[in-house]
Amino acid sequence: MECLSAKKAAYRATPGGKAATAAYDAAYRRKHLELLRDKRLAAYSDRREVLVERSRTWKHANRERVAAYGSAYKKARPAENAARAARYKAAKAQATPPWADYAAIAAVYEEAAFLTDLTGERYEVDHYYPLAGKTCCGLHVHQNLRAIPERDNRRKYNKVPS
């Protein structure tokens, strides 16, 4: 067995062997696409907690790399970012009723800025009930706003609180 494994490894190391192996692997993946997808999903669901924790740990240890990637990704797609910002601005404008207390809304944004300065951790204004949730939509009024840490706001994303 060891001799056969060594022969296969030597063959795969040659340029022709590398190309032939890649072609065989690609054909196998095309032929067994659904089977491989099902296996991947089953393996992921069995180990989801471990994989999520591993990813979280790696991101925490490599914050600069993650930030640089995110920054480069945004810079490479200015049109997407502009469209996303415009959609959000339009949704917020449509979700702001005529009776909204603009002074109270501004106070929540000032609170977020104050907490950022005070703690050194970035705080953002979160819509407790998201403006464009899947199951419900909130309003852009001060009763629906709160200042929370950025990481919590990113984790919550567009979900209704449980």
Can you give the pLDDT at residue 4?
87
pTM for the model stands at: 0.57
| Ranges of H-type helices in the chain | 2-13, 15-31, 33-61, 63-75, 78-94, 102-119, 150-156
- Rounded to an integer, the average pLDDT of 1-12 is 84
Out of 8-17, 49-58, 111-120, least confident range: 8-17
Decide if pLDDT at 2 tops 80: no
